Amino acid sequence: MTPSMDYRSSLEYLESLIDYERTPAEARTARFFNLARTENLLRRLHNPEKGLVCIHIAGTKGKGSTAAMAASILRAAGYRVGLYTSPHMVSFRERIRINDEPISESQVAALTARLQPHLEALHREEAGPPSFFEAYTAIAFLHFQEQRTDIAVLETGLGGRLDATNVVQPRVCGITTIAMDHMLELGNSLVQIAGEKVGIIKPEVPVVCAPQEPEAMEVISAVCRQEQAPLLRVGAFGEGCDISVTASPPAAAGQRISIESHKIEYHDVEVALLGEHQAWNAGVAVGMIEVLAEQGLHIKSEAIPAGLQQVRWPGRFQVIKGEPKVILDGAHDTASASALVRTVRTLFPDAGITLVLGISEDKDIEGIAAALSTIAARVVLTTAKSPRAAGLEELQRRVSSKFERADVHTAAEVEAALESARALTHKKGIILVTGSLYVVGEAMQALGISPM
């Protein structure tokens, strides 16, 4: 008989498993990443993933936003949709949702209790016991199976080829923009990183791909040819892409885009998520939905605009009204920080910006700071309560030369950093919290905002 657990004890048990998300990057060597542990666990659970109809998404930037858009469109079409994303900002429950409702505490506890004897038994296997992410991925599969989802939208955690989610047989794959991130685990070039991301591509399964740097696109195209996987490229009008997207400049209430291919045409569609990059993410999401429609899934024509208008994805250019306004954005690589800067300049060209900035130690700290320095009048450096967070002394040492024109302060905790930023910022100015989803999550807690 499976022992019972409450939510607190289930979290304590899951957190006792090795957690690569909270492990310093130098300890996360390639030998720790393999599919054997996940496959062993799922086999003991009678492979709940095998019965799932699913979408699988990899990429460096925007894969969570793309997953949220695809799930929102499918909900608008009337389907019961599972969504699995990572990391979370406040609660583990954020990662597993059905029709935007997070998994309940009692469900986490019950499924963890069900997993526990299998996890303990796997200590004796050559591959070793599963990690936190591998176990939580199994919980997601079980939850989606038991709750009879019509379709599941899955975001990879890290990379693709050896990610725990890469045990599924998807109906369609999405690849969002690939950039330089997680170099210690994935490689030091776009070619190497792309080589890991394309590991989700399966024989003859269609792939919808966001705009890429040429060297990344070459890798994607080559693997699609090798696997005989149809490739649909998203790009701007006039570039000869399979799915063409154009976007109006973002506005405070959202932005409008048009999407066309030889089979679809949607004009002046409102996208709730802000930022020019969200237009590409929307193109990938819509492209994947259209592939599903071609495979026989019934998608009402109004579901696409409705889903894009209704999508919620907290912590990604999330504007909190007030005086001053607070913007929460989890940009944590140089490319994302640059995109964030462009969006801020478009929406708030004259506002004085105070940064609340904390960055994980394994990120391109100097590159992120250089991008953000172009809009920062004031900076409050801080650190999240995460083992991966760069300490204040290290952060200050590495970014001081980038913020020579800004007024720089420090605060040991995110809540104190927000208080300092409020004191420094005019009521018509903006406080921009960024650099890490961990920092954004702690800011949400300090502000009394729930991502659920």
3-state secondary structure 111-157: HHHHHHHHHHHHHHCCCCCCCHHHHHHHHHHHHHHHCCCCEEEEECC
The reported pLDDT for the residue numbered 276 is 82
Q: Judge whether 62 lies within some domain.
A: yes
pTM of the model as a whole:
0.93
Looking up residue 124, the CATH number of its domain turns out to be: 3.40.1190.10
Is 28 a residue whose pLDDT tops 70? Answer: no
Neighbouring C-beta atoms of residue 440, cutoff 10 Å: 28
The reported pLDDT for the residue numbered 202 is 98
Quote the distance between the C-alpha of residue 210 and its chain's center: 15
Last residue of a domain, one of 247, 281, 310: 310
Eight-state DSSP code of residue 333: S
Q: Judge whether 214 lies within some domain.
A: yes
Q: Judge whether 2 lies within some domain.
A: no
The reported pLDDT for the residue numbered 175 is 98
Structural domain of residue 220, as residue ranges?
Answer: 7-310
Q: How confident is the model at residue 1 (pLDDT cuts 50, 70, 90)?
A: very low
Do both 305 and 324 map to the same domain?
no
For residue 92, is it left (φ>0), alpha (ψ between -120 and 50) or beta?
Answer: alpha
Share of the chain above pLDDT 70, in %: 95
Q: Judge whether 19 lies within some domain.
A: yes
* Nearest partner of 133 among 158, 107, 101, 102, judged by Cα: 158
Per-residue pLDDT tens over the stretch 118-174 = 999 998 888 788 999 999 999 999 999 999 999 999 999 988 899 999 999 999 999
Do both 90 and 120 map to the same domain?
yes
The reported pLDDT for the residue numbered 240 is 82
Helix axes 365-372, 392-399, angle to 10 degrees: 60
Q: How confident is the model at residue 452 (pLDDT cuts 50, 70, 90)?
A: confident
Do both 252 and 356 map to the same domain?
no
Tokens representing residue 250 in the block:
């973002």
Do both 442 and 327 map to the same domain?
yes
Q: How confident is the model at residue 24 (pLDDT cuts 50, 70, 90)?
A: low
Q: Judge whether 142 lies within some domain.
A: yes
Last residue of a domain, one of 292, 310, 328: 310
Q: Judge whether 1 lies within some domain.
A: no
Do both 274 and 366 map to the same domain?
no
Q: Are 98 and 144 in contact (CB under 8 A)?
A: yes
Do both 171 and 95 map to the same domain?
yes
Do both 360 and 274 map to the same domain?
no
Last residue of a domain, one of 270, 288, 310: 310
Do both 225 and 157 map to the same domain?
yes
Tell me the mean pLDDT in the region 424-448: 96
Average pLDDT in the chain: 92
Share of the chain above pLDDT 90, in %: 82
Residue 265 is inside which H or E element, if any? Answer: strand 265-271
Is 390 a residue whose pLDDT tops 70? Answer: yes
Do both 99 and 20 map to the same domain?
yes
Buried b or exposed e, range 428-439, using 16+ CB within 10 angstroms:
ebbbbbbbbbbb
Per-residue pLDDT tens over the stretch 305-355 = 999 999 999 999 999 999 999 999 999 999 899 999 999 999 999 889 999
* 5-19, 93-107, 193-207, 211-225, range with the lowest pLDDT: 5-19
Count of domains forming the chain = 2
* 9-18, 124-133, 156-165, 438-447, range with the lowest pLDDT: 124-133
Residue 41 is inside which H or E element, if any? Answer: helix 36-44
Do both 328 and 371 map to the same domain?
yes
Residue 7, SS3? helix
Looking up residue 440, the CATH number of its domain turns out to be: 3.90.190.20
Q: Are 403 and 219 in contact (CB under 8 A)?
A: no
* Nearest partner of 431 among 344, 316, 332, 338, judged by Cα: 344
Q: Judge whether 345 lies within some domain.
A: yes
Residue 15, SS3? helix
Task: Show Cβ contacts of residue 248 under 8 Å, excluding neighbours closer than 6 positions.
Answer: 255, 256, 257
Do both 302 and 358 map to the same domain?
no
Q: Are 54 and 171 in contact (CB under 8 A)?
A: yes
Give the dihedral sign, CA 168/173/177/178. positive
Pairing outcome for strands 207-209 and 172-175: parallel
Do both 399 and 274 map to the same domain?
no
Q: Judge whether 452 lies within some domain.
A: no
